[in-house]
Chains A and B, each alone.
Chain A
């Protein structure tokens, strides 16, 4: 049942993501030629922004899971931690990749080491990579889970820092186009609609991935128990 729900979410999310891509290319208006160095490449943001949004949700799940494991020793918390790290890594890589390609087209360089937003988000993705690879290379146990949960807890500091970075230090990465709070958003209605569809679709898609990942962790634990039983344990 849980597997079916996860697969359904993955399917609906994927359809929505592809619809966003289609509408972004065929329906959403072009940006002003004067406003951008590479106006065509601007359409990257129909997946770039929703992927970053989904990454933030995943890092939120990672934080919640770490909190639940560290303070409550909750098995559900550990599953959330694992799922959040994996989803955060995937969405983080999608965001970094699309951002680098857009940067190369628009700025002439894929990365700017002086930009706070780029570097804090890059660090978040590296944190997720560390957690995913670390879990795969270490035997499962209380100490391992405590260590990784600590990284999940403290690493979350980077999420609000990344969010406010362009509001405080707008160096290279553009400022917010919607929800800026000062009414300076420059997004047309049609563009905002496609972006909203993208954000909803990525949210549904990542929810499916998180459920699927939590299920895999549960199955791995059951498999380990049977293995333990075969080896002569209780």
Chain B
């Protein structure tokens, strides 16, 4: 196989990898944020920023 073909395969793989990774992280962030806002609004509770597992250690 020609060197340019290897180059194309390598960069296409990396571009797809970077795109999928970034898309997954950004959509996951937006989805969780929307779910949290919806749940907090419907229940009328605002969750604190504190980490519950770390609080468990402190207790």
Contacts and interface: CB of A to CB of B under 8 A. Distances in A.
Interface string A112-126: 000000000000000
Interface stretch (A56-64, A91-99, A174-182, A189-197): A91-99
Contact of A38 (B6, B11, B21, B45): B6
A219 interface: yes
A129 interface: no
B53 A105 contact: no
Contacts of B4: 40
Interface residues of B, number: 38
Given A223-B32, A226-B39, A228-B52, A40 B26 contact: no
A47 B6 CA distance: 14
Contacts, number: 122
Interface of A: 3, 7, 10, 14, 17, 21, 38-41, 43-44, 47-48, 51, 73-75, 78, 86, 90, 93-94, 97-98, 101-102, 104-105, 140-142, 145, 209, 212-213, 215-216, 218-230
8 tightest Cβ-Cβ pairs between the two chains A and B: A40-B3, A75-B51, A105-B6, A101-B10, A222-B47, A38-B3, A225-B47, A75-B54
5 contacts: A41-B3, A44-B11, A86-B25, A105-B1, A142-B56
